[in-house]
Structure 1
Amino acid sequence: MTAIAACETCGNPLTDAAGGRRYCSNACRQRAYRERSATRTDEHSNAHGDLPTSLDSFVGRRAELTALTRLSNEHRLISLVGPAGAGKTRLAVQFGERHRKDYPDGVWWVGLATTSDPGRVGHVVASALGVRPPSTRPVAEGIAASVGNQKMLLLLDNCEHLLEDVATLVASLLANCPRLRVLVTSREALRVAGEQVFALGELELPAAGAPVDATMAPRFDAVRLFLERANAVDHTFELTEDTVGDVVALCRSLDGMPLAIELAARRIALLTPADILARVGDRLALLTDAPRTTDTRHRTLRAAIEWSYDLLDADEQTAMRRLAVLGWPFDLDLASAACGVDDALNLLAGLENKSLLVSDRAARGATMFRQLESIRLFGRELAEQHGDVPVVHDRVVEWVASVVEPEATRFDPGPEPVRRLDRHMGVLDIAIARTAEVGDWPRHALAVAATAWTANPQKPRGVPLPLLNAALARPELPPVHRSLLAHVAAGHHRARGNWELCRRFATLSYELETALGCPDTTARALEVLASADCYFGDLDGGYARFAEALRLARDVGDPIAVGIILNSLSWTKLQHGDADAATPLVTEAVDLIREHGWQHMLNPMLHTAGAIALARSDFDTAAEMFRESLTSSLEHPTDQFYDLEGLALALIGTGADDVCALSLLATATAVRTKFDYRAEPYWQDQLSVGMDAVLARTPAGRARAAESSGRRMSMRQAVDYALTDRPALPENGGSSDKRITERERHIAGLVAEGLTYRQIGQRLGISPHTVARHVTHVRSKLGLRSRAQLAVWAGRNTQ
């Protein structure tokens, strides 16, 4: 039987196949021509297949290229996936260029962005390879027969809208062409047997909070890309100490995504980095200036993201919009609540597979999800258009209330609810604003109280006082919610030394709890009220309240409450000169919390134990207690400045490390000043005596440098520094193979004074690059990891 010839474009039978006719009409012939043009950058390409020609430089991605090379040596199919604008195409082109010599039969490029008909995938690939599709059998068979045993690399670009047909074709080719390797770029993996998925993320950025100057910043790929693209539109632009902070912040706010950074850099022709950074909140309108020759999907950031959104099904589109309203990383539980489903796992998996969601492993193994900020802003716009915002806000309120309400009538919130709230601190603001907007004051009170329970290194415990006062002023509050807020207010004022207000709110909470008849929360109010009584000199009354609080807590069988009350009583007795009576109390408290409590609850108990050791001049034990206390609060940072002060006093007592002690005291003082935490008179006296002692024996230059480095350290950096074992360095800088030169010692001293590399260079008559090289050498010789550590070393070893 003679096979009937078919049109290569539409597949319809050809009525006249004589003379090699391949198309049934001029329309099909023109369509085939357009598709061939879309897959080739040069119609005169050589036999090995041309890659798209890049008109600007390729920046960074060295580690990614190395990893791709390693994968390609071991696997025949790699899917390079990532969000819009991550630079998948550019990386694939660079990979192909680098490995041309490894494929004697060619590196073949097939762009599928303009192919809208899934049934045409095979024809587009065949056309790019110069293969005439057979009319009597599947296109894949014809391509496989042509490729055969050739050693070649096939690069299929932009496959996300054609996944099923690309997957079918690739599987067939790999099965029949043993030396063929395939690299696919897509926003979603093909899910083919043997596929290796390589997720492409952000360009390299400086660590958050790390000091970066104009000399060091260009070493990071994101900053270097911004500089190169900015210089393309303004040859006079250069990175300076005045602009480096804005450029780094801009690259970070753009998630390190190459497309967004390139579009932002083009605005340098009109705006300064600070101007661009100020407008980056409206980035979808700002980042619209790509070259005219750029793929239409990448002309604007909005178009790049919209392409991905349009490929989602209806449920995924709704989920993407509603999750964007959260504006904060979220776990599966909160995502399910926001999306209004029992379990959002499949929705999250689908969005992550399509590179519209990023998953991170958080503390204690919790998986958190987040949207890149540009994607979130796009989703938020659509959420507003679809009316999703109030729906999500109401669901957030429900979620917060479900977490907080069971804890409101306990002496202290349990560990798991606090962990959940710590992970979702940002959505508490949504709950607070929404409940105030709709007048839901009971749940407003719950959200405000939850704010007081949360903590992280950037936000010590506490709730803004105006918000707290406004919530307490609502006449509609039920007694249980008013008592909860009154207790929060009493604790707020106790931490800040406002004892009159502390006693007033503690009294209100106690009166309300007495009427409600809840023993646990009555004990909660009594503990604070007892502390206030003792502060004002009513020791008999205060100790009687402590005893009543303990009785109530023991009666209800709450060991956590007993431990907290015992520690408060121990701290009170220590402040009033009775360290012997304080010792067994805090010992019992520590034992109870170790057995029944959460790790961070040890923090105040260990601080009290350390303070008792200080009172007895047992400085080694004190240092051990304060370091353990710092360690206990790493997950849920609570009052770490207290422990820094205690450790500093222990170091001063031993004389082991005066420079470290001065730095830690400076950090703690900065935190107290910023958040208005006032030390109790007893503790302030200890700090004053210790400070006088250390300053009396420390050279003025070293003291200034140590205090300067301490003021510049964040709380996280100070805690890391306090817990790091520092090798004892000889005063001359070390052994002969690690000797520090006088020039290096001088530069280290200037770093300790807070000067930038440019300022040091101007003072010494050398370039900033030379200064940076000296600093790098010093840090390498001494094994120091940061400029803060170098500043502390300089304070110890320079005059």
Structure 2
Amino acid sequence: MTGAHPPVIRTPDQRIRVFVSSTLRELQDERRAARAAIERLRLAPVMFELGARPHPPRELYRSYLAQSDVFVGIYAASYGWVAPDEAVSGLEDEYNLAPRDMPKLIYIKSVDARDERLEELIARIRTDDTAAYLPFHDADHLEEQVAGDLATLLAERFDESKATQDAAADPAEAAALATRLPAPYTTTIGREGDIAALRDLLAAGTHRVISLIGPGGIGKSRLAIETALATTDIFPDGTSFVPLEGVLEAGLLLPTIAYGLGIRDNGEAALEERISRALEGRRVLVVLDNFEQIVDAAPVLVRLYDAAPTATFLVTSRIVLRIRGEQVYEVRGLTTPVDNLPASVDPATRSSAVALFVDRARAVKPGFEITADNAGDVAYICRRLEGLPLAIELAAAKMRVLTPHGIAERLQRSLPLLTAAVRDLPERHRTMRATIEWSVGLLPEVQRCMLQDLGVFATRFTLEAVEAIGAGRPWGGDAVDTLAALVDGSLVAQTDIEGREIYSLLAIVREYAIGALEDSGEADQVRAAHADYYVGLVDAVAPGLQGLGQAEAVGRLGLELSNLRAAVRHLIYTNRLDDAGAFAWSLLIYWWISGFFAEVRLWMLELLEKQQPISQHTRAIAWFFVLWGEMWQRPSEQVVAGLGECIRLFTEAGDENAAAMALAARATARVQLADIDAGKADEELREAVEKLHAAGNSWAEAITVVSLGRLAWVRGDTAAALEHFDRATAVASASGDLFTTSVAGNIRARLNFVRGEIDAAEREFIETLLLSIRLHYDEGVAYGLEGVCAVAAARGDAWRAAALAVAAGMIRHRIGVFDVEAFTVHVPHLEILRARDPQAVADGERAGAQLSMAEAVELALPAESWAEVATRMHRW
């Protein structure tokens, strides 16, 4: 099996993607077996759980295949259905669309008889030198075959990759990773002039906020993404994309921006301060998408860009923000054929609206062309839809079942009536809403019902979640095929994230869907089913946060964050307050690792303000989250007393484990007071450790033992501190808690350094640096670099120490960690070197300012350790 070029071996954060092609119903067990084999190797399966569909969306196949590295085909007896106007089945189409240089593993099941066309496809596969032809008997046999063959393939590719290890990554892929921008899955058409104009505005640097204003469906988000991709040279310090679609409360703007910038909210400093610090002095672009829902929070942007004058915000919104420094850019529809002229049959002279229609029509009807017979109808469609990109895409999706004349005829009949019914909206808003209603109106009743129900999801959702809310719904018994039809009709988008099939609705489609659901009187029922599903999901995933499944659990919850928000919102709105409290409490470790304390605080304040009956346990939870940030930012005797009340409420509710956690928090609050009672704090921390150990809460036990060690260090008892850090590391490591292992290990390394155990400290700094890289934990990487810097400084390596110090400082700056570290150990030694060898330190600082994170990590690590993480760091 050969290919044009060997793929680069990837790491768990950017895993090798394996595209799986098969018929669905015939091979359900085999598909499950293939997924299990792929995931066993920590690879990412790319699978249409809807199967190789009769109406294949070719552009979607292409985008999936373009992201994939290996093609796995599983064939049995069936060739699959060939749709009207299609030459081949979806099964063969997937094989045909797979890139020539993609390695292909083809598995043929032993069957008594096989469709003739499938036999012909298999015969062709046998002659393909990029494909391996492999027989199997049943699902169990297939799972072992796939796992073994993939392992062999990766071993071969790893050997080949050694020769090209230093080759540069694909520029487009590297840019997308660096900017964290969503990758467009279809071609952007007709926006070249807008992108150029926006680039000029951004390059001028005279506008702090540029707002892309226009109705839903006009392409604001896509234009913002393309503009950001086209201006990476203008913003050398990076671009961040912050989706606000699922953010409905103004108070969530700052937490959401912080998350987009990679800032953890651990409660220790005000978020606005951290964000301002992270943006200060950096030439960055922050894209805020769908701002209209929280336009009342717009003044917050003024405060941010006043504090960080080199940052620029690119905002998409349906309404103007009306704040100081805003430059409004009106996003208009695509150009349409003028007057009553037909669409041009010459691609070079087509209007952009017609070009878009043709492009999207070909996705569902390959070979479609503008002809003299259909040119007038296509022109009418584009003019009638006012050049609105989403409206045109929805119309083009109907080319699967209608001709251009049929589409034009139906628009002529329906659209005037529909727009008349929504006269309270601006003209283009009316057209877009009417187009959605027209498109939905062509669906069978069961599909319309599902689309309405999908409106309860926030931003994105999985097939499992859809099936969960389908109980008792008209489409509940046929969720897979019904969802497939909505995907094929361009009303639901389908993509892949880390091997999971993810679905989403565009904001305006979601608005229509939820509005229709509310009009039906069934919104509360479906929202309750949505909330119940996510309560169950949290119950299933949360236990993994404390052990070996921590990284996987954090990733899964991050994928569902917008729906977790929606679930909590519904629980509180419907006065299921005890459920809301339990939901928040079970995810305490997730809020801690990912940094969402400010957001949870808002939920709990809303819960308390409801003035509804709640249990003592729920009241304790709510006050605990409310007081957490106060404990760090505004410590007082009132905060200590409030946490004492939490202890009492938890105890009376019979939750000794939670009471012990509140006790540990109260002791920590005492340490923050100006008039510290170290003895009392030490006593309470020790009591909390005993109780947490008895309760089997290893995560909280390890964190509390870390606090004991920090307190002992502050009191000058370094021997006791080291003993505490040893115990914390052992407890966290034994339970598989990688995050706390990293935190405790780094502090222990710092103490060993202070004690003069330089070699031991160096080993520990390197271990925790590697662990932080594995966790994709920027803050931990900064601490690790500082630790290695301290070792280098102690050994007199002035240039290396100075370079690492600056590189670590740049990471701290970027993620808003600006508070003085009580246990920083590298600075004094670096200052000694500055006095001794100022030139070497100055040279190192200049070099450090130019280092990427990957280059800084390479400078810090021994060669053998760097080899372990090189690919991961280059793709960070």
Is the CA contact (8 Å cut-off) linking 1:432 and 1:444 kept in structure 2? yes
1:541 equivalent in alignment to 2:680: yes
Is the CA contact (8 Å cut-off) linking 2:447 and 2:482 kept in structure 1? yes
2:247 aligned partner: none
Whole-Å separation in 1 of the counterparts to 2:595 and 2:618: 24
2:750 aligned partner: 611
* CA positional deviation for 1:224: 11
Superposition pairs for residues 299-448 of structure 1, below 5 Å?
A: 300=388, 301-306=390-395, 307=397, 314-323=445-454, 325-340=456-471, 341=476, 356-362=492-498, 367-371=500-504, 375=506, 377-387=508-518, 392-404=526-538, 415=550, 418-446=554-582
SS where residue 480 of structure 1 aligns?
helix
* CA positional deviation for 1:651: 0.5
Superposition pairs for residues 618-637 of structure 1, below 5 Å?
A: 618-619=757-758, 621-633=760-772
- What amino acid is aligned across from residue 555 of structure 1 in structure 2? A
2:412 aligned partner: none
Matching residue within 726, 729, 738 for 1:599 = 738
* CA positional deviation for 1:498: 3.4
1:562 equivalent in alignment to 2:701: yes
Superimposed CA distance per residue, residues 216-271 of structure 1 (whole angstroms, 9 cap, x where no aligned partner): x9xx9999966x8535x99999757528998999999329999xx9xxxxxxxxxx
* CA positional deviation for 1:182: 9.5
1:654 equivalent in alignment to 2:820: no
Relative to structure 1, the CA distance from residue 484 to residue 328 in structure 2 (aligned partners, 3 Å threshold; closer, same or farther) is: same
Superposition pairs for residues 220-299 of structure 1, below 5 Å?
A: 230-231=192-193, 242=203, 253-254=221-222, 287=333, 289-291=335-337, 293=343, 294=354, 295=357, 296=378
1:645 aligned partner: 783
* CA positional deviation for 1:515: 1.7
Whole-Å separation in 1 of the counterparts to 2:629 and 2:199: 48
Superposition pairs for residues 496-515 of structure 1, below 5 Å?
A: 496=633, 498=635, 500=637, 503-515=640-652
Whole-Å separation in 1 of the counterparts to 2:807 and 2:622: 36
* CA positional deviation for 1:659: 1.8
- What amino acid is aligned across from residue 402 of structure 1 in structure 2? G
Matching residue within 166, 175, 181 for 1:207 = 175
Q: TM-score, normalised by structure 2?
A: 0.48
Superposition pairs for residues 506-525 of structure 1, below 5 Å?
A: 506-525=643-662
Relative to structure 1, the CA distance from residue 495 to residue 724 in structure 2 (aligned partners, 3 Å threshold; closer, same or farther) is: farther
- What amino acid is aligned across from residue 479 of structure 1 in structure 2? Q
Q: Which runs of 5+ in 1 are unaligned?
A: 1-76, 92-161, 175-180, 185-189, 198-202, 262-272, 711-716, 730-782, 790-799
Whole-Å separation in 2 of the counterparts to 1:406 and 1:784: 33
Whole-Å separation in 2 of the counterparts to 1:584 and 1:343: 60
SS where residue 203 of structure 2 aligns?
coil
1:70 aligned partner: none
Relative to structure 1, the CA distance from residue 343 to residue 688 in structure 2 (aligned partners, 3 Å threshold; closer, same or farther) is: farther
Whole-Å separation in 2 of the counterparts to 1:702 and 1:657: 11
* CA positional deviation for 1:369: 0.3
2:599 aligned partner: 463
Whole-Å separation in 2 of the counterparts to 1:382 and 1:618: 64
Relative to structure 1, the CA distance from residue 170 to residue 436 in structure 2 (aligned partners, 3 Å threshold; closer, same or farther) is: closer
Whole-Å separation in 2 of the counterparts to 1:617 and 1:537: 29
- What amino acid is aligned across from residue 663 of structure 2 in structure 1? L
Relative to structure 1, the CA distance from residue 450 to residue 256 in structure 2 (aligned partners, 3 Å threshold; closer, same or farther) is: farther
Name the stretch that deviates more: 642-651 or 411-420: 411-420
* CA positional deviation for 1:458: 8.7
* CA positional deviation for 1:649: 4.3
Whole-Å separation in 1 of the counterparts to 2:735 and 2:813: 33
Relative to structure 1, the CA distance from residue 788 to residue 666 in structure 2 (aligned partners, 3 Å threshold; closer, same or farther) is: farther
Whole-Å separation in 2 of the counterparts to 1:567 and 1:433: 34
1:589 aligned partner: 728
Relative to structure 1, the CA distance from residue 191 to residue 208 in structure 2 (aligned partners, 3 Å threshold; closer, same or farther) is: farther
* CA positional deviation for 1:509: 1.8
Whole-Å separation in 2 of the counterparts to 1:240 and 1:518: 58
SS where residue 815 of structure 2 aligns?
helix
Q: Which has the higher contact order (CA 8 A, sep 6+)?
A: 2
Superimposed CA distance per residue, residues 86-116 of structure 1 (whole angstroms, 9 cap, x where no aligned partner): 999xx9xxxxxxxxxxxxxxxxxxxxxxxxx
Superimposed CA distance per residue, residues 150-178 of structure 1 (whole angstroms, 9 cap, x where no aligned partner): xxxxxxxxxxxx963335x658xx9xxxx
Matching residue within 801, 811, 822 for 1:667 = 811
Superimposed CA distance per residue, residues 594-641 of structure 1 (whole angstroms, 9 cap, x where no aligned partner): 222333332322232222223224455445434543544567666x42
- What amino acid is aligned across from residue 242 of structure 1 in structure 2? A
Whole-Å separation in 1 of the counterparts to 2:569 and 2:706: 36
Whole-Å separation in 2 of the counterparts to 1:635 and 1:540: 38
Q: What is the aligned length?
A: 530
* CA positional deviation for 1:411: 11
- What amino acid is aligned across from residue 434 of structure 1 in structure 2? H
Larger radius of gyration: 1
2:112 aligned partner: none
